[in-house]
Amino acid sequence: MHNISTEKALKNQLASVRMEGYRFTDREIENVRKCLSGELTFSQFKDKIVKDTQNK
């Protein structure tokens, strides 16, 4: 089995969803990175998504 970095996995998933027509802002991607690295808890991450969605 091959080891894959979190960053590589994230880039692969972003490429996959882009092929499906979805787009994410740099801010949204950065929040995902922060959650994956432990800088944000999942609850904080979720709250940011809700807040950002309400501000659009």
* Cα 52-22-14 angle, rounded to 5 deg: 95
User: SS in 3 state form for 13-44?
Assistant: HHHHHHHCCCCCCHHHHHHHHHHHHCCCCHHH
15-24 long-range contacts, Cβ below 8 Å, gap at least 24? none
Q: Looking at per-residue confidence, does 42 or 52 come out higher?
A: 42
Per the listing, tokens 């979190």 go with 6
Question: Is 33 inside a domain boundary?
Answer: yes
- Residue 3 has a pLDDT of 74
| Longest CA–CA separation in the chain, Å | 43
Q: How many domains does the chain have?
A: 1
Question: Is 2 inside a domain boundary?
Answer: no
Residue 31 has pLDDT above 90, yes or no: yes
Residue 52 has pLDDT above 90, yes or no: no
Question: Is 15 inside a domain boundary?
Answer: no
Question: Is 34 inside a domain boundary?
Answer: yes
Question: Is 40 inside a domain boundary?
Answer: yes
pTM of the model: 0.79
> 40: domain range?
26-56
Question: Is 39 inside a domain boundary?
Answer: yes
Question: Is 12 inside a domain boundary?
Answer: no
Please report which confidence band the pLDDT of residue 1 belongs to, taking 50, 70 and 90 as the band edges. low
Residue 56 has pLDDT above 60, yes or no: yes
